[in-house]
Homo-oligomer: A and B are copies of this chain.
Amino acid sequence: MSGVVGPIAMSYAALERQQKRVAHLEHLEAIAAWDEATMMSEGGGDARGEALATLRGLIHDESVKPEMGDWIAAAEAAAGELDAWQAANLREIKRTWVRATALPSSLVEATSLVESKSEQAWRRLRAENDWASFEPYMREVFAKKREVAQALSDKLGLEPYDALLDGFEPGAKSAAIAVLFERLGAFLPSFIARVVEKQKSETVVRPLGPFPTERQRRLGVELMRRLGFDFKRGRLDVSHHPFCGGVPEDVRITTRYDDADFAKAMMGVLHETGHAKYEQHLPLRWLGQPVGRARSMGVHESQSLFLEMQVSRSREFATFVAPLLAEAFPDNARRTPGAFDPANLHALATRVTPSFIRVDADEVTYPCHIILRFEIESALVRGTLDVRDVPDAWDERMQRLLGISTRGNFKNGCMQDVHWPAGLVGYFPTYTLGALLAAQLFETAAREVPHLGPSLERGELAPLDAWLSEKVWGQGSRLETDALVRQATGRPLDTAAFERHLARRYLGAASA
């Protein structure tokens, strides 16, 4: 893969070979994890868990090979011989190596044990709405996370919370995120109230089920094909929690079907297809190297939301999808006349309702759920909030941001997500960073890609894909996130495009 032949850069070549080996093992991990979620019979779980643990141990050992420090130092000394991609690859290799070697393995193991116990307790206690019993687990998780954050902080020279965030969103700083989120937190509550008020007078027809699973599946496959998913390099299956997995050469997305509501699986498939197209268009020449990977969680989410929110909830998309729905579900179309009319479909796709559960939230209220979590988890890591006070902090923010109360409703309040119980701290902000970036990218594309509206009405995404391929997908991890956003949209990430998008779509008269 490297064009470097000089003796000084031999260490760079050694790094590329080692990274390729890691990528091979991660390929097997990805397929085994996909298999576990989609195909594995229930009796296979224990053996799979053990096999994956051994593999993950091997991947870790390979990723922190003792020679790496010397190789990286020698490659940096010879950096003048590397081209831009190689230099970026070296930067990414070093970044993940520094993180992988920053923590003593005793701390990694102790943290992993605490997280695993806590996640198991959460599965039981959430169902019972039992915050009192769960609180000690959560306290232990955050105690460990603070230790981890401090150790990473010492090594990376980042604030402790930012050191966790950096694991999901390299280069992101909570101070900058706080600015964006404060602006959104100021804008959204009154905006949501106006939208809810406006939608009160609108009538929508809810299409009646049942929607046969096989017809839903065929519709999903047809949409994926029309919207540019490459079935020569991927597939669609069923899992309890939808995800985009596999490897860039063979992307595996999943969904689940609800007989009563076709839109759940359909919008889920469109979301995962957005993730999948990013993976399928990563730079081929650099697959298997860190620079060939998707940039970050936030950028990845921007691609799923670009397709799910920006494209698929537009008025133009409703025009495109209406006849496909009428064809897929002729009985339902007959039973609920008008349900599959484009205007009605668009109205259905853009209903706004403040609600308890993040994963069911619409695109307008969703950021409120994230702002709340970001504020709480960053305060917990900084030590300015105690775990005991999380339910109050949660309820206070739910009331302020969404006007609803979760007092005493832990199950649908601060116990609703797997993230904290599983130790995923610093992950939540990436959802809304993704939503902001999706809007900023779409607004730019709408200026730069000719005839975008008419293309969307025909479900033709090829011009948009060419643009995304040049600006985002084909860049892999060559640019750091800030630079990627600037070169694609001409400015740093802000909330302006997102706010304009919401105003146009939810209050405006013009096409949105």
Chain A interfacial positions (CB closer than 8 Å to B): 20-21, 23-25, 27-28, 31-32, 35, 39-44, 46-48, 50-55, 58, 230-235, 246-247, 249-250, 287-288
Q: Which of chain B's residues have a CB closer than 8 A to the CB of A52?
A: 28
Q: Which of chain B's residues have a CB closer than 8 A to the CB of A28?
A: 28, 32, 51-52, 55
Task: Check B287 against A39 for contact (C-beta < 8 Å).
Answer: no
Task: Check B55 against A250 for contact (C-beta < 8 Å).
Answer: no
Task: Check A233 against B35 for contact (C-beta < 8 Å).
Answer: no
A58 to B51, CA, bound (A): 14
A483 to B91, CA, bound (A): 61
Main secondary structure of the interface of A (DSSP, over half): helix
Could you list 15 examples of A-B contacts with CB < 8 Å? A24-B50, A24-B51, A25-B54, A27-B47, A27-B50, A28-B28, A28-B32, A28-B52, A31-B31, A32-B32, A43-B230, A43-B250, A44-B233, A44-B249, A47-B288
A233 to B58, CA, bound (A): 27
A467 to B312, CA, bound (A): 60
Task: Check A235 against B55 for contact (C-beta < 8 Å).
Answer: no
Q: Which of chain B's residues have a CB closer than 8 A to the CB of A54?
A: 21, 24-25
Q: Which of chain B's residues have a CB closer than 8 A to the CB of A234?
A: 41, 43
Q: Which of chain B's residues have a CB closer than 8 A to the CB of A55?
A: 24-25, 28
Number of copies: 2
A448 to chain B, nearest CB (A): 30
Q: Which of chain B's residues have a CB closer than 8 A to the CB of A287?
A: 47
A54 to B288, CA, bound (A): 13
Q: Which of chain B's residues have a CB closer than 8 A to the CB of A35?
A: 31, 35
A54 to B58, CA, bound (A): 12
Q: Which of chain B's residues have a CB closer than 8 A to the CB of A250?
A: 40-41, 43-44, 47-48
Nearest chain-B residue to A30 (Cβ)?
B51
Task: Check A41 against B235 for contact (C-beta < 8 Å).
Answer: yes
Nearest chain-B residue to A234 (Cβ)?
B41
A65 to chain B, nearest CB (A): 14
A18 to chain B, nearest CB (A): 11
Tell which of A51, A55, A58 has the most Cβ of chain B within 10 Å: A51
A20 to chain B, nearest CB (A): 8
Given A27-B50, A41-B233, A46-B249, 14 additional A-B pairs, CB 8 A: A24-B50, A25-B51, A25-B55, A27-B47, A27-B51, A28-B28, A31-B35, A39-B235, A40-B250, A43-B233, A43-B234, A43-B250, A47-B250, A48-B249
A50 to chain B, nearest CB (A): 6
A111 to chain B, nearest CB (A): 23
